Structure 1
Amino acid sequence: MDTSNTENGDPVGASQGVTSVSGSVPGGGPHAFDGLAAAVLDDQGAVVGWTGTAQDLTGFRADEVHGRPVRELLADLPRDLHRATQLPATGRVRLRHRCGNTIDVTFRTTRVSGSAAFLVLAAPTLHAADHQHGAALLRALTAQNRITIALHDTDLTTVQTNAMPDTLDGRPVQPGTRLNDALCAEDAESIEAVLRQVLETGIPVLGRNQHVSWRHRPVPRHALSLSAFRLEDARGRPTGVAALYTDDTGLRARRQLDLAREVAERVGGSLDVVRTAHDLADVLVPAFGDLAVVDLAQAVFDGDEPPERLGGGDLHLRMAALVPATAAWPAGIKSGNLVPPLSDHPLLRRFQQGETVVYGPDDFGALIGGRQLVEQLLPHDAHAVMAAPLYARGLTLGAIVVWRTGLSEPFTEDEVDLMRQIASRGALAMDNARRYTREHRAAMALQQSLLPPATTDTAAAETAGVYLPTGRGAGTRGDWYDAIALPSLRLALVAGDVIGHGIPASATMGRLRAAIQTLSDLELEPDELLTRIADLVQRLAAEASPGSHDAMGATCLYAVYDPVTRRCAMASAGHPPPVLVRPDGTAEAVGILPGPPLAVCGMPYETTTIDLEPGSVLALYTDGLVHLGPHHIDDGLRRLTDALATSCRPDRALDDTGRALLGDLVDEAPRDDATLLLARTRAVPAEDVAHWQIPVDPAAVSEARAWATRQLTAWGLADLLFPTELIVSELVTNAIRYGRPPAELRLIRHHVLVCEVTDSNSAQPRLRRARTTDEGGRGLFLVAQLAERWGCRHGQNSKTIWSEQTIQCSAD
Structure 2
Amino acid sequence: MDLAEDRLLSRAAHELSLKADQLIHDVERRLRHEVPELWDEPDLARMAAENTTERIGGVLFALEHGIEPSRIAPPAIDVERARRLAQLGKPVSAMLRAFRLAQGLVLDRMLEELSLLTNDAELIGAATRRLVALGTEYVDHTSERSVEAFQDERDRRLRWRLSVVNEAGMSVGTTLDIGRTTQELADLAVERFADVATVDLLDSAFTASGDPVTGSSVVRRVAQRPDPEPEQSHGEESGEENLPEAAIAPQQLHSYPEQSPPALALATGRPSRHHRVVPPVSGSPPAHPDDNGFDGATRIHSTMVVPLRARGATLGVAQFSRNRNPDPYDDEDLFLAQEIAARAAVAVDNARRYTHARAAALALQRSLLPQHTPAQSAVDVACRYLPAGSDVGVGGDWYDVIPLSGARVALVVGDVVGHGVPAAATMGRLRTAVRTLADIDLPPDELLTHLDDVVERLSVEASTDPEAQSSGDIGATCLYAVYDPVTGCCAMARAGHVLPALVTPGGAVETLDLPAGPPLGLGGLPFEAAEFDLPEGSLLALYTDGLIEAPGHDVDTGLARLRSVLARHTPSLDSTCDAVLEALLPVGRPEDDVALLLARTRTLGAHQVVTWDLEADPASVAGARARVTEHLGVWGLEDLVFTAELVVSELVTNAIRYGRPPVRLRLIHDRTLMCEVSDGSSTTPHLRRARFFEEGGRGLLLVAQLAERWGTRHQREGKTVWAELTEKSADVPLPDFPAL
Q: Report if TM-score (shorter chain) is over 0.5.
A: yes
1:664 maps to what in 2?
583
Q: Measure, in 2, the Cα distance between the counterparts of 1:174 and 1:414.
A: 37
Of the structure 1 ranges 537-546 and 473-482, higher mean CA displacement relative to structure 2 is found in: 537-546
Q: Tell me which of 614, 622, 631 is aligned to 1:694.
A: 614
1:796 maps to what in 2?
716
Q: Measure, in 2, the Cα distance between the counterparts of 1:564 and 1:382.
A: 85
Q: Measure, in 2, the Cα distance between the counterparts of 1:320 and 1:701.
A: 77
Q: Tell me by how many angstroms 1:482 deviates.
A: 0.6
Distance 1:620 1:607, change over 3 A: same
8 Å CA contact 1:290–1:405 kept in 2: the answer is yes
Q: Measure, in 2, the Cα distance between the counterparts of 1:454 and 1:472.
A: 26
1:438-461 per-residue CA deviation (whole Å, 9 max, x = no partner) reads 111111111111110244442112
Q: Tell me which of 299, 306, 310 is aligned to 1:388.
A: 306
Secondary structure in 1 aligned to 2:318? strand
Distance 1:245 1:611, change over 3 A: same
Q: Tell me by how many angstroms 1:301 deviates.
A: 4.1
Instruction: Please tell me whether residue 319 in structure 1 is matched to residue 208 in structure 2.
Output: no
Of the structure 1 ranges 498-507 and 407-416, higher mean CA displacement relative to structure 2 is found in: 407-416
Instruction: Please tell me whether residue 430 in structure 1 is matched to residue 333 in structure 2.
Output: no
Secondary structure in 1 aligned to 2:220? strand
Q: Tell me by how many angstroms 1:317 deviates.
A: 1.8
Q: Measure, in 2, the Cα distance between the counterparts of 1:696 and 1:347.
A: 94
2:264 alignment partner AA: R
1:131-167 per-residue CA deviation (whole Å, 9 max, x = no partner) reads xxxxxxxxxxxxxxxxxxxxxx9xx979xx9xxx9xx
Q: Tell me by how many angstroms 1:347 deviates.
A: 2.4
Q: Tell me which of 697, 715, 720 is aligned to 2:640.
A: 720
Q: Measure, in 1, the Cα distance between the counterparts of 2:531 and 2:157.
A: 74
Q: Measure, in 2, the Cα distance between the counterparts of 1:797 and 1:701.
A: 23
Q: Measure, in 2, the Cα distance between the counterparts of 1:363 and 1:561.
A: 79
1:522 maps to what in 2?
440
Q: Tell me by how many angstroms 1:675 deviates.
A: 0.9
Q: Measure, in 2, the Cα distance between the counterparts of 1:454 and 1:382.
A: 63
1:663 alignment partner AA: E
Q: Measure, in 2, the Cα distance between the counterparts of 1:348 and 1:381.
A: 22
Q: Tell me which of 380, 405, 418 is aligned to 1:487.
A: 405
Q: Which has the higher helix share?
A: 2
Q: Tell me by how many angstroms 1:299 deviates.
A: 3.4
Identity of aligned residues (%): 45
1:618-663 per-residue CA deviation (whole Å, 9 max, x = no partner) reads 22111110111242222212212222222x311x2x3343234323
1:708 alignment partner AA: V
Q: Tell me which of 748, 756, 773 is aligned to 2:693.
A: 773
1:758 maps to what in 2?
678
8 Å CA contact 2:663–2:678 kept in 1: the answer is yes
RMSD between aligned residues:
3.4
2:104 maps to what in 1?
none
Q: Tell me by how many angstroms 1:506 deviates.
A: 0.9
8 Å CA contact 2:262–2:317 kept in 1: the answer is no
Distance 1:690 1:410, change over 3 A: same
Secondary structure in 2 aligned to 1:548? coil
Q: Tell me by how many angstroms 1:732 deviates.
A: 1.4
8 Å CA contact 1:697–1:736 kept in 2: the answer is yes
Q: Measure, in 2, the Cα distance between the counterparts of 1:362 and 1:296.
A: 29
Q: Measure, in 1, the Cα distance between the counterparts of 2:629 and 2:263.
A: 88
Q: Measure, in 2, the Cα distance between the counterparts of 1:776 and 1:649.
A: 57
1:520-559 per-residue CA deviation (whole Å, 9 max, x = no partner) reads 1100101011100101111111111364345621101111
Q: Tell me by how many angstroms 1:179 deviates.
A: 5.7
Secondary structure in 1 aligned to 2:405? coil
Instruction: Please tell me whether residue 345 in structure 1 is matched to residue 259 in structure 2.
Output: yes
2:183 maps to what in 1?
278
Q: Measure, in 2, the Cα distance between the counterparts of 1:796 and 1:321.
A: 66
Q: Tell me which of 267, 273, 276 is aligned to 1:358.
A: 273
1:234-291 per-residue CA deviation (whole Å, 9 max, x = no partner) reads xxxxxxxxx9967311111111111112222333332221121122223323222223
2:630 maps to what in 1?
710
Q: Which has the larger radius of gyration?
A: 1
1:535 maps to what in 2?
453
Instruction: Please tell me whether residue 257 in structure 1 is matched to residue 257 in structure 2.
Output: no
Of the structure 1 ranges 503-512 and 758-767, higher mean CA displacement relative to structure 2 is found in: 758-767
1:632 maps to what in 2?
554
Distance 1:627 1:361, change over 3 A: farther
1:502-517 aligned at under 5 Å gives the runs 502-517=420-435
Q: Tell me which of 416, 420, 425 is aligned to 2:338.
A: 420
Q: Measure, in 1, the Cα distance between the counterparts of 2:340 and 2:581.
A: 40
1:441 alignment partner AA: A
Q: Measure, in 1, the Cα distance between the counterparts of 2:729 and 2:716.
A: 37
1:151-194 per-residue CA deviation (whole Å, 9 max, x = no partner) reads xx9xx979xx9xxx9xxxxxxx98445468x699xx59x99xxx
Secondary structure in 1 aligned to 2:252? coil
Q: Measure, in 2, the Cα distance between the counterparts of 1:714 and 1:427.
A: 75
Secondary structure in 2 aligned to 1:659? helix
8 Å CA contact 1:361–1:383 kept in 2: the answer is yes
Q: Tell me which of 499, 513, 519 is aligned to 1:597.
A: 519
8 Å CA contact 2:277–2:300 kept in 1: the answer is no
Q: Tell me by how many angstroms 1:326 deviates.
A: 7.1
1:461 maps to what in 2?
379
Instruction: Please tell me whether residue 299 in structure 1 is matched to residue 194 in structure 2.
Output: no
8 Å CA contact 1:501–1:551 kept in 2: the answer is no
1:748-795 per-residue CA deviation (whole Å, 9 max, x = no partner) reads 112211001111212212221222232322222222122111111011
2:286 maps to what in 1?
none
Q: Tell me which of 470, 482, 491 is aligned to 1:548.
A: 470
8 Å CA contact 1:454–1:464 kept in 2: the answer is no
2:400 alignment partner AA: D
Secondary structure in 1 aligned to 2:607? helix
Distance 1:183 1:801, change over 3 A: closer
Whose RCO is larger (CA < 8 A, sep 6+)? 2
1:26-47 per-residue CA deviation (whole Å, 9 max, x = no partner) reads xxxxxxxxxxxxxxxxxxxxxx
1:712-740 per-residue CA deviation (whole Å, 9 max, x = no partner) reads 11112111111211221121122222222
1:280 alignment partner AA: L
Secondary structure in 2 aligned to 1:686? coil
Q: Tell me which of 508, 525, 528 is aligned to 1:586.
A: 508
Tell me the TM-score normalised to structure 2 length.
0.73
8 Å CA contact 1:457–1:463 kept in 2: the answer is no
Q: Measure, in 2, the Cα distance between the counterparts of 1:514 and 1:339.
A: 43
Q: Tell me which of 655, 663, 670 is aligned to 2:574.
A: 655
Tell me the TM-score normalised to structure 1 length.
0.66
2:111 maps to what in 1?
none
Secondary structure in 1 aligned to 2:302? strand
2:256 alignment partner AA: L
Q: Measure, in 1, the Cα distance between the counterparts of 2:611 and 2:314.
A: 74
2:289 maps to what in 1?
none
Distance 1:706 1:276, change over 3 A: same
Q: Measure, in 2, the Cα distance between the counterparts of 1:334 and 1:342.
A: 12
Q: Tell me which of 361, 364, 368 is aligned to 1:443.
A: 361
Q: Tell me by how many angstroms 1:362 deviates.
A: 7.9
Instruction: Please tell me whether residue 308 in structure 1 is matched to residue 214 in structure 2.
Output: yes
2:726 maps to what in 1?
806
Q: Measure, in 2, the Cα distance between the counterparts of 1:776 and 1:718.
A: 29
Q: Measure, in 1, the Cα distance between the counterparts of 2:233 and 2:472.
A: 52
Q: Tell me by how many angstroms 1:586 deviates.
A: 2.7
Q: Measure, in 1, the Cα distance between the counterparts of 2:98 and 2:614.
A: 116
Q: Tell me which of 735, 738, 746 is aligned to 2:655.
A: 735
Q: Tell me by how many angstroms 1:405 deviates.
A: 2.5
2:139 maps to what in 1?
none
Q: Tell me by how many angstroms 1:208 deviates.
A: 8.8
Q: Measure, in 2, the Cα distance between the counterparts of 1:639 and 1:807.
A: 47
8 Å CA contact 2:544–2:595 kept in 1: the answer is yes
2:393 maps to what in 1?
475
Instruction: Please tell me whether residue 217 in structure 1 is matched to residue 120 in structure 2.
Output: no
8 Å CA contact 2:278–2:299 kept in 1: the answer is no
Query: How many residues are paired up?
Result: 583
